[in-house]
Structure 1
Amino acid sequence: MDEVYLKINGELFYLWRAVDQHGVVLDILVQERRNATAAKRFFKRLLAGLKYKPSKIVTDGLRSYGVAQLEVLPGVKHRTSRYLNNRAENSHRPTRRRERQMQRFKSPEQAQRFLSAHAMIYGHFHPRRHLMAAEQYHRSRDKAFQIWRQETCAQTAA
C-alpha cells in the first residue's frame, strides 16, 4: 500500500493505492487527509472488495497504516520498508503520466472515477512484460484486445 499527493484545483488530496504481490492494482481511493481515520477508511474499502484476507501488508513508514492495521486487521503481519514497497510506488507512474496528459484533475470525484477505471484498464492492456517471453507477451496482448472488443462490442475497421 502507498499514498501519493494529487493537486486538484490548488488543494492537496491523497491518492491511496493497494497493489498485490504481482503489481496488480486492488483498490484506489482519493481522500483529503492522510491520517489514521483515512487509512482505516481505505483498509475497510479494500477489504470489502477482496475475496480473501491478506496475510501480510507492506507499507512505507507512514504511522497511520500501523494504527489502521491494528484496528482493522489485527492478525495480519505488517512490514514497513522503503524498498519492499516498490510495486506500490511504481504503480503511481501511469497515474502521473495520465495526469499530465489530462492537464490535472478537475475535482476529487472526477479523479476517483477516472483513476478507478484507468487502473483496471491499464493493467488489462499492459501485462508484466519482464516476466514473459516475447511470444507469450504478444499472445497476451492479442487476447486482451480480443476481450476488449467483445466486451465493448467494438467493430474493427476493415
Structure 2
Amino acid sequence: MTEEVSAHYKRHRFPAEIIAHAVWLYYRFPLSLRDVEDLLAERGIDVSFQTVAEWATKFGLKFAHQLRRRSCGHFADKWHLDEMVVAINGEKYWLWRAVDANGYVLDTLLQGRRNKGAAFRLMRKLLKGQGVAPRVMVTDKLRSYAAAKAELMPGVEHRSHKGLNNRAENSHLPLRRRERRMMRFKSTRQCQRFVSTHSQVANLFHLHRKHLTAADHRQLRAHAISTWHEIAWSTAA
C-alpha cells in the first residue's frame, strides 16, 4: 500500500484492503452486517459488525460518488421510471427509481408522496445528474409522470403502459431482497444512503451474463473488480 493511500485510512486500525473488502461484501451481496463479520472472521480478521456498519456508512457514499463520476454519460437514452413502497417505522414512503434500457440504475430518490411534485423532483434530479434528456421515457400509468414530464421535458416521447415497464419493476427485486435481509430500513436517511450506494455498486457489476461468453464474462468481471480496487484505494477518508 502506498503512503498516500495509508494516509487516507490513517485513523483506522485495519488497512485499506480489509475496509474496502468489507464494504464491498456488504453492498455487493445480500449479506447482513453479522454475515460480513463472520466472513471476515473465517479469514482470521477479528472485527465486530458494528465496525463494519461504521465502515459502510463512512466509505460507502464516497465510493459510490467516485463510481457515479466514472459512469457519467455511459447510459442508454431510454429511461424507465417506477416507484416502490417502503415501510419505515410504520410509515409509508415511496422510493422513486430510474433505470436505463440496459438495466443500469440512473438515480433513486426516497419521498413521502406519490404525486406530480415527487415525479417532478425525480426528473429534475435525473436531468441534473445525466446532463441530457432521454430520447424515450417509459412509465406505468401513474398520471403524475405525464404531468411532470409536460413541464420539464415536453419534447420527450412518453410511453405509459404497465407491461412496457418490466425493466424498472424487475430492478426493484435485488433491493427488496436486501430490505428483507436488513429487516427493513430503520430511517429515511439510512434508506436513501443505502440505496444510493447499493445502486452504484450494482451498476459496476452488472455484466449482462446472458449475452457473454465465459471468457468475456471473466474479463469484464476482472475489470469491474479492478475498478473497485482503484476506487477504494484512491478515496480519501
TM range (shorter): over 0.9
Please, which runs of 5 or more residues in structure 2 have no aligned partner?
1-80
Contact 2:99/2:105 (<8 A) preserved: yes
Aligned residue in 1 for 2:176: 96
| 1:110 counterpart residue number | 190
2:143 is aligned to: 63
Instruction: Decide which of 103, 110, 117 is 1:23's aligned counterpart.
Output: 103
Aligned letter for 2:170? N
Percent of matched pairs sharing the same residue:
49
* RMSD over equivalenced CA pairs, Å: 1.2
Q: Aligned letter for 2:139?
A: T
Amino acid of the structure 1 residue aligned with 2:208? R
- The DSSP-based 3-state class of the residue aligned with 2:217 is helix
Q: Is the partner of 1:144 in helix, strand or coil?
A: helix
CA distance in 1, matches of 2:109, 2:199: 12
Measure, in 1, the Cα distance between the counterparts of 2:118 and 2:198: 22
TM-score of the pair, normalised by structure 2? 0.63
Larger Rg: 2
Give the CA deviation at 1:137. Answer: 1.0
TM-score by length of 1: 0.93
More strand by share: 1
Aligned to 2:84: 4
Q: Which amino acid aligns with 1:12?
A: K
- Distance of 1:46 and 1:150 partners within structure 2: 27
2:175 counterpart letter in structure 1 = T
Structure 1: gaps spanning 5 or more residues: none
Deviates more, 1:13-22 or 1:140-149: 140-149
CA distance in 1, matches of 2:156, 2:231: 37
Secondary structure of 2:189's match? helix
For 1:24 and 1:126, the matched residues in 2 are separated by: 7
Runs of 4+ in 1 over 2 A off after TM superposition: none
Match of 1:78 in 2: 158
Work out whether residues 136 and 156 of structure 2, in 8 Å CA contact, stay in contact via their aligned partners in 1. yes
Aligned residues between the structures: 154
